[in-house]
Amino acid sequence: MERFVIVEVGSTNTKAYLYHDSMVEDLDFLTIEFKNHFKKEGCLSSVDKQTLFSFIKKIEEEHIFVFGTSVFRNLNTLEKEAWLKEFKNATGLLFHIVSSDMENEFTVYGAISGIDYRGKIAVMIGGGGSTELSIVEDGKIIEKANSSFGAMDVTDMFSDLREDYAITDYDFMVSKVKELVSVPKNRASFMILAGGDYIYYYEELNYPVQENKFYYHPLQPYCLDVNTMDQLDKNFFYSVSLEEICKKTGKDGWWRGARGMRLCVKSLVDILGVKYIIPTRISMVYGIVEKIKKDDFIFD
């Protein structure tokens, strides 16, 4: 199959990608806060479901594959069966629920494919409702440490993170998030940030990044030392108006969760002893593409 669309439905953000001519292209993006609304209603929100159905139906491509992550994994058997049936009836498509391990492996594939580097690399996959971490050595995953919380859970803990300016002490928040993280045995000097658009964060805020000095990879052009990362993140928490950046970009939901995600990043940076981060736009879509191309896409 040479042309198809992959839709990744996360706890907070839904993204569509078009694969064609051996390339993955961003197609569309929408914030749908499935996990937050599930917590409040005790079920998948009917409004969220209809929003997703409309998003899918607007895609004008013959081959569309849809994958759900964190919040959909937590449905019980009856809820899951009902959701899969409802989705199929509404869209005519199958909804594939990807396990935490599979999401981890698919994303790590995209992050390390083509990298010429010897030594240990940490790959963090950040989401609204989960945080996956892999330690990779010489192209192979040697350890996984998955946590069932993400950016939205952090903003639930510290509600001021969603306000115009944060007021809770930064170090206090980091210490609390660290208590929730699954701690790996291995350490790494740099960490690839995947599963979300981390490059967008730096671009929109006009924050400086350096050229990736560890290796060349077209999807990983930048790196940043953690001291500079800390300074920029603190500026984002306490000096950048969230209202203004939301109004400017039109991505209110994305930015309301961004401070929570930065705390997830910081907690793992500290635990692992990371010296540099590598922000990327890489997601599990790259591993899924290879599965679909090989007609090997049974994920449920």
Summarize pLDDT for 83-94 with one digit per residue, the tens. 999 999 999 999
Report whether 190 contacts 122 (CB < 8 A): yes
**pLDDT at residue number 121:** 94
**pLDDT at residue number 221:** 95
Distance CA 154, CA 267 (A): 12
**pLDDT at residue number 69:** 86
**pLDDT at residue number 149:** 84
How many C-alpha atoms does 6 have within 13 Å on its Cβ side? 26
Helix, strand, or coil (residue 193): strand
Q: Taking all residues of the chain, what is their mean pLDDT, rounded to a whole number?
A: 92
Taken in order of first residue, the domains within the chain and their CATH numbers are 3-98+285-293 (3.30.420.40), 114-279 (3.30.420.150)
Distance CA 147, CA 76 (A): 19
Laid out side by side, the sheet with 140-144 consists of 140-144, 131-137, 120-126, 190-194, 276-279, 222-225, 210-211
Question: Is residue 201 scored above 80 in pLDDT?
Answer: yes
What are the pLDDT digits (tens) for 97-111?
A: 998 888 888 889 888
Distance CA 104, CA 70 (A): 12
Question: Is residue 276 scored above 70 in pLDDT?
Answer: yes
Report whether 113 contacts 179 (CB < 8 A): no
- Sign of the CA dihedral 219, 119, 207, 238? positive
What are the pLDDT digits (tens) for 212-266?
A: 999 999 889 999 999 999 999 999 999 999 999 999 999 998 999 999 999 999 9
- Mean pLDDT lowest among 12-16, 91-95, 158-162, 203-207: 12-16
